[in-house]
Every structure is written in structure tokens, then in C-alpha cells.
Chains A and B, each alone.
Chain A
Amino acid sequence: MTGASQRSTGLGRTRPRPRFRWRWGRAGLAVAILGWLTFALGPYVWMFLTSLKPKSELYTSPVQVLPHSVTFLGYKLLFTTTPFLRYFLNSAIVSAGTVALATVAAVLAAYALSRFRIPGKTYILIGLLVTQLIPSVLMVMPLFLTLRTIGLLNTWWGLILVDTAFALPFTTYLLTGFMDAVPKQLDEAAMIDGCNEITAFRWVLAPLLVPGIAASSTYVFIYSWNEFVYALTFTSTTVSRTLPVGLRTFIGEYLIRWDLLTAGGVISVIPTILFFMLVQRNLIAGLTAGAVKG
């Protein structure tokens, strides 16, 4: 690319650095990002500070911002007196499984919807959306029956299947859209060069889908990680209970264990951040550079 500065992104690819034309360019960006960070993270900072305070400092007037005496007791109790680690493991397995299954099924379906002419395609698309229309609280009972009949209650697989089913429609739509954006000539060009459909997909289409898969897998992970109603109903013991359900057990009738809740809360958001930080590296422009011309 003539004239543009090259910059290595660490993945062996280079791309030109976008330039700014706005006058207050960098400063404005910094202000905007910092403002957004404050709005997004403020509550967590407050929750973290609260988790460090001993109970005596919680209800003060005026409100005390920083803890005067720091205690990590909440965290200690969280790991020693509750099955928190087990809840964490269950959530991790269910979410990983859901991401895997949903991505595979959605990629296949999206390829069919994007690259083939299917009779009744409209109905399929409508059908996908229709599955999202009824609130989960009303679908719980018949679903419970189904899982009980198959024998998947209180298992990871039961939750994986249910979460995958509900996450599929959006994932499929998203990936179909991303695939549609890649011109069919690319496939054809590859096949003229000697590929069959599968290798054309592997070498041409899939790399261009990476931003789409990054986004959709994030969505599926988060959906599954946070899912509550089905996780509550289809699990009965710590064997398969997930984090959101576990967190709710810290709220009793006459007691709210703020120490466990805030400690657990802080820890439960960490995996998603890590997941996305890993995945978002694929949200890089320029992967299609030269694709059409070449």
C-alpha cells in the first residue's frame, strides 16, 4: 500500500494505521474512552471497594468511599465455605461446550443459507426468530419434561444443549450476514483454481469470517455464562449448578451475604474479560485487503 505506514500487529500481518482528520483527534478520543470506561466500570469499582470493607463501614453517612480497614475475608469465605469453585467450573464447561457446539452448527447452517439457494429460506429465517419470542419462564416446564425424559437433568450436557438451541438463531443470522458480505466470486475463483467446496471454505471463506466468529462466540459465551432460568431449573445440586444460580444462593430470606456476593461477583466477571481479550484480537481490519482484486 503506497503512502500508508505499516504496522505489525503481531500476527504476521501488517496494516496501515488509520489517520485522523479531526482537529481534536487524539484528545477527544481519549476523553470519550475514559468517560466510557468510568461509566462502564464505576459500579464494579464500587462493588470491589464494598467487598473490601468490613460490615461496620458499609452503612455510614456520609457515604465513605474508600475502606478504612481492608478485609479479604469475603474472598476467603467464598472459597472455603461455599462450592464457588465448583459453580465456576460448571459454568466454564457449560459455556465452553455451548460456544463450541453453537459455532459449529451455526457455521454449517450459515454456509447453507448463504451459499445455496434453499426453497423456503424465508420460512427458515422466520422460524429462527420465532424461537426467541416467548419468555423463558413460560418455556421452562415443557423443557423440564423433555430433559427429564431424556435423562439430561443435572448434567452439563443438558444445559449445553438448551443454551445452544437458544443461542443459535442470532449466531446463525450473524454469520449468514458475514458470509453474504463475502462475494461468491471468491469461492468460484478458488474452485477454478482447483479447490472443492470444503477447501474453498477452509482457505478462502473461513479467514474472512474470523471477525464474525469472534463476535458471535463472544455472544454465545456471555449468553451461556449468564443464563439463569434454565440453569436454575435443570440443575439440582452442585454437580452441575452454574455461577448465576450459585450467586443467588447467597441471598436468603432474612439474610444477604454481601461479602460473598461481592467477592463472587468480582471473580465471576474475570473469565469473560479474558475470553474476549483473547478473541478480540481477531477483530482486525484488513483481512480482506487485496481479496477482491487478487
Chain B
Amino acid sequence: MVRTSAPRSRSLNPRLRRRLVPALLLAPAALLLVLVIGYPLVRAILLTFQNFNMLQPSRTTWVGLQNFVQVFHNPVFWIAMRNTLVWVASAVSLQLVFGFIGALLLNQTFFGRDVVRGVLLIPWATPSVLVALMWMWMLDGNYGIVNELLVRVGILKTFFPFLSSPHTALPTLIMIDVWQGIPFFAVMLLAALQAIPLELEQAARVDGANPAQVLWHVKVPLLLPTILITTILRLIWTANYMDLMFVMTNGGPGYATTTMPFFAYTEAYRRIHFSTGATAAFVQALLLGLVIIVYIRILRRQQVV
């Protein structure tokens, strides 16, 4: 309960008020979410148990778990699963680490900090089609500046086709996603850093801690809630992010950059098997659901919920 002193309201019965106020506060968000996302979400899930034909919706029937069987028998599904794991794990962990370092850097004072803070945001702020085209051009196997520089410096002997080779295609996309995601983590963690009361840091310093110890023992624990939620959501978003594949590699070479959302998309829109696409996405959602459960457990242990 928030208030310890006597109720101040003049109008409503306090108990009613206690129930009503949080409900009213939650209403706008809840309404928006349920109305906008509720129906599509439920529909997408139901579709995994039907054989929905987008082009002839009236001929849809229930098929139980048949879609799951079909999808599990498709070797491309498993390739996509593996690629997604690699994609999500590498991209998010690298973004987190470098983003955190970035937040620490931006927390310092230096000349031109305002401008630098704004400018470093650009990779995150750019529409993905532009990011994809820019990097495609830079990584071009015949005219790319990256190749040119690597050759001039002596790291490469000849131009290397980054996106044509099955071993380097996905790592290249991972690198680009990390490039995009570092500012995101940096901003979120910077805000969290700034919200830490200065007295705590000063008290620790007075007690003789050096900056590294202050960081680890004082700041990081306070940053944990932000780190957790940012990472969890970034995991989910990255798992569903397929713009780079769509523009740069179309899932190739072969299936080297086919991740789950891309596979779901090609099933739904190119093979016109919407239900198998929805099924693949649903399987991924279930796996991500496990991640969410772990997160809620952590929250419970911290007695937040």
C-alpha cells in the first residue's frame, strides 16, 4: 500500500478507489495492446492447427498437429533453427558487451559529448533497408571499400566475397546487426547508469573502493533490472529480425542465412503455405517463451513480482 496516512480523497470510497485507480491507469495500454495485437496473435496461433490457404480462406480446415509434423520433417526447418541460435546468441551477446562498454564511455565527460551521443545513435536509427544496402555496397566482392582497405593494409591478398561464401555470410550479417545494436544497449544502460544516485558511488569511494570495484559491486547490481529486460527483449527482437537477410542474401548462399522468421516468411508467402510458416514461427515463439519463463523466475527471486 502506498499511503500510510489518512485517505485524502473526498469523493470515492477508498477501497473502490484502490481497485479502480490501477485499473484506470493500466487501461490505455491494455486496451491498445488487446485491440491491436490480441486478435492477430490469437489468429496466428490458431492457424498453426489449420491448413489456411491465404488465397482461398473459405477452404480452411482443422488439421491438428499435422503442420508440426510437416515442418519437423523439413530439413530446412532444422537448418533455420540452428542458424537462428547462432544468430541470436552471437549478435545479442556481442551487442550487450560492447553496448555496456559504450555506456560507460558515454557516461564520462568530454568535449563534444552531446554531439557524440547523438551521432553514435545513427546505426540504430537507420531504416534497415538502408543499412543493408550500405553494407552490401561496402562489402561488395569487386568494388567494396572494405575489401579495398583490407587488401591495402595487407590482411587480404585478393578481394573476398563475404556474402557469397556459406561460412562468412552469417557472421557478416551478425557483425552488421551488432553494429546496429550497440547504440541501443548503450542508450538504455546509459540511462540506467545516470539514474543511480551519486551518493551511493561516493559512499563506496569514501569506503576506499576503486572505480572498477565501484562498477562491479555498486553499479552493476543496480543496472541488472535494465540489463535483464533489455537483453530479453533484444533476444526476442533479434530472433524475429529478418530484414538483413531479406535485402542482402535472400536466405542464401544456399540456406546459410536462413533463420526462422525468414523460413516462416518464405513458407507463408512464397510457397503459399501460410500455416507451415505460422507453425515454424510458433515453435520459435515457444522456445523464446522458455526464455521468458526463466526471466520471470529471476524477477520472482528478486521479489519484484
Contact = CB atoms under 8 A, between A and B. Distances in A.
B127 A243 contact: yes
What's the interface size class on B, roughly? 35 or more
Contact of A292 (B108, B197, B296): B197
Interface string B262-280: 0011001100000001100
A59 to B, nearest CB: 5
User: For the complex, would chain B's binding face be called helix, strand, loop or mixed by DSSP majority?
Assistant: helix
A11 interface: no
B21 interface: yes
Nearest to A127: B33
B2 interface: yes
A37 interface: yes
Nearest to B31: A105
Interface in A3-47: 15-18, 20-22, 26, 29-30, 32-33, 36-37, 39-41, 43-44, 46-47
A75 interface: no
B40 interface: yes
Per DSSP, are chain A's interface residues mostly helix, strand or loop, or mixed? Answer: helix
Interface residues of A, number: 124
B127 A247 contact: yes
Q: Which 6 A-B pairs have the closest CB atoms?
A: A277-B118, A272-B125, A215-B191, A165-B36, A112-B25, A142-B40
B26 A289 contact: no
B116 A134 contact: no
Interface in A252-294: 261, 265, 268-269, 272-274, 276-277, 280-281, 283-293
A198 B296 CA distance: 30
A116 B36 contact: no
Interface stretch (B58-66, B69-77, B85-93, B228-236): B228-236
Contact of A288 (B198, B211, B242, B299): B198
A126 B119 contact: no
B13 interface: no
Interface of A: 15-18, 20-22, 26, 29-30, 32-33, 36-37, 39-41, 43-44, 46-47, 50, 58-63, 65, 104-106, 108-109, 111-113, 115-118, 121-122, 124-143, 146, 161-162, 164-166, 168-170, 172-174, 177-178, 180-181, 184, 187-188, 191-192, 196-197, 208, 211-212, 214-215, 218-219, 222, 225-226, 228, 243-244, 247-248, 251, 261, 265, 268-269, 272-274, 276-277, 280-281, 283-293
B248 interface: no
B102 to A, nearest CB: 7
A17 B148 CA distance: 43
A39 B119 CA distance: 12
Contact of B125 (A37, A59, A169, A269): A269
Given A105-B29, A289-B198, A290-B199, 4 more contacts: A129-B236, A138-B278, A219-B188, A226-B125
B32 A165 contact: yes
Contacts of B171: none
B292 A108 contact: no
Nearest to A212: B191
Contacts of A269: 122, 125-126
Interface in B82-139: 101-102, 105, 107-110, 114-131, 133-135, 137-138
Contact of A215 (B26, B188, B284): B188
